[in-house]
Amino acid sequence: MYVVEKFAAYAVDSRTRPVPPEALHHAKRAVIDWYAALLPGAVVAPATLLEKALAEDLDRGKATLPLGRKSSTRTAALINGAAAHTVEVDDIFKFGIYHPGAPTISAALPVAQAAGSNGESFLRAVIVGYEISTRIGEAMGRAHYKYWHNTGTIGCFGAAAAAAELYGLDAKRFAHALATTATFAAALQQAFRMDSMSKPMHAGHAAEAGILAAAGAREGVTGSLDVIEGEAGFGVAMSDGPDWDKAVETLGREFHITQMTFKNHACCGHTFAAIDGAQEVQRMLSVKPADIARIKVGSYRAAKEVSGYENPTTPAEARFSLKYVVANALVHGSVRLAAFEPACMEDKVTRDLMKKIEVTIDPELDASFPGQRAARVAIETTDGRKADYLQPARKGDPELPLTDRDLEDKFLELAGPVLGDSAARALVEKLWRLERIATVHELRTVAG
């Protein structure tokens, strides 16, 4: 069997088995976290600009945008995918260096809306999308991440798998959906090494492309079944020899959806260990920002390279500036959406503190990436006191997980300003019992 056929066989076989309760619970956590990222992203660019650009596909169709506007299925997936990846609070599968929720759930929901699917079917599709795509992401490894943005490339498979599951494709057509979507996989890291709106659109494109591949396969469109492992295929062209046997060996026995990282800061995940470590050293020293003489941060290469903006001037740049978010956390106590408002961006105390931060690559921590996301932080005060700390994981990682209450608080914090507090609370209550709702149309949101 080809790799895509093995993934398809898993998906079809799983329909005959009950979903393990743990996997079902974590799928609900993933959907709640997706909405927490989606809603604040839906009311800013690029989602608002895409609504204008794609107006001919809106105000009709069986899918809906976050605030209730009707849409065609693929357009809803594209806009929702972009919105869910805009404010940088969406989930992470650290072993695949990948944000699965933005492309996978953004594809699953409009397909489920168009089909009138119930909550359990929707959750099953989310699980299938996560299980297949995270394994592809992990197999492609660090070599893939050198040039490619995994959420755009690997995300195509999550979206296609979720859509194929909701369409009820047989194993043959399911495999062709995965084969076709492999040829749509694209998203360059260079797209976010300069201020732009391209990065969130990677997730939107992946969601739309996955639906296109699955819908085509439903009607008989075929793909090259050896496109993953072939001599000119996805693995060879975009990585350094993935182990595909290892990628599929735990399917159906271990559920990657139970190993998600849920973000505790509204910025690039590569900065999180540094933020958490800096705040811990600040507590150790009981020091105010004005009394800090210097800060040294050692982390893995991607943390330095991807979040390397020295003097961010836009919110997008600031979210990818390790120095800015660490300084902001030490000055204001957290890195939430307010950190990227003009008042915080221009704060002199924060900007002065940034100049005292030195970031280096720690060879030991770099060697442990992507399985471990750690940082060493040392602070020296103006009166000569020193302290250092190894932050071994990020708060929100599987090793230091957000509780259900933490996740709900995050949802209410981010969704409340968009929907209104009462509507946000009503929605999250529905999401916690999602497997019991008769149709996903019950999840429609209206701003209060």
**What tokens were used for 58?**
């809106």
- Residue 293 CA, distance from chain mean position: 35
Of 348, 369, 391, which residue is a domain's last? 391
- Residue 119 and residue 434 in contact, taking contact as beta carbons nearer than 8 Å: yes
Q: How far is CA 32 from CA 95, 337, 365, in A?
A: 22, 18, 31
Residue 375 belongs to what domain range?
Answer: 269-391
Give yes or no: residues 177 and 273 share one domain: no
Give yes or no: residues 136 and 200 share one domain: yes
Q: Which residues contact 343 (CB under 8 A, 6 or more apart)?
A: none
Give yes or no: residues 239 and 347 share one domain: no
What mean pLDDT value characterizes the chain? 97
The C-alpha torsion from 175 through 96 and 153 to 233, rounded to 10°, is -60
226-250 pLDDT, tens digit per residue, is: 999 999 999 999 999 899 999 999 9
**352: CATH:** 3.30.1330.120
Give yes or no: residues 85 and 216 share one domain: yes
pLDDT value for 446: 58
- Residue 79 and residue 47 in contact, taking contact as beta carbons nearer than 8 Å: yes
Give yes or no: residues 192 and 336 share one domain: no
**What tokens were used for 179?**
């084969």
Count the neighbouring beta carbons within 10 Å of the beta carbon of residue 289. Answer: 15
Q: Is 211 part of a structural domain of the chain?
A: yes
CA distance 339 to 323: 13
Give yes or no: residues 19 and 54 share one domain: yes
pLDDT tens track, the chain, 448 positions: 999 999 999 999 999 999 999 999 999 999 999 999 999 999 999 999 999 999 999 999 999 999 999 999 999 999 999 999 999 999 999 999 999 999 999 999 999 999 999 999 999 999 999 999 999 999 999 999 999 999 999 999 999 999 999 999 999 999 999 999 999 999 999 999 899 999 999 999 999 999 999 999 999 999 999 999 999 999 999 999 899 999 999 999 999 999 999 999 999 999 999 999 999 999 999 999 999 999 999 999 999 999 999 999 999 999 999 999 999 999 999 999 999 999 999 999 999 999 999 999 999 999 999 999 999 999 999 999 999 999 999 999 999 999 999 999 999 999 999 999 999 999 999 999 999 999 999 998 755 4
Q: Please tell me the pTM assigned to this model.
A: 0.96
Give yes or no: residues 213 and 173 share one domain: yes
Give yes or no: residues 29 and 144 share one domain: yes
Q: Is 397 part of a structural domain of the chain?
A: no
Give yes or no: residues 228 and 279 share one domain: no
Residue type, 151: T
49-65 pLDDT, tens digit per residue, is: 999 999 999 999 999 99
CA distance 298 to 311: 19
Please tell me the total count of domains within the chain: 2
**218: CATH:** 1.10.4100.10
Using alpha carbons only, give the angle 7, 8, 11 rounded to the nearest 5 degrees. 90
Give yes or no: residues 179 and 299 share one domain: no
Crossing angle of the two packed helices 101-115 and 21-42, in degrees rounded to 10: 100
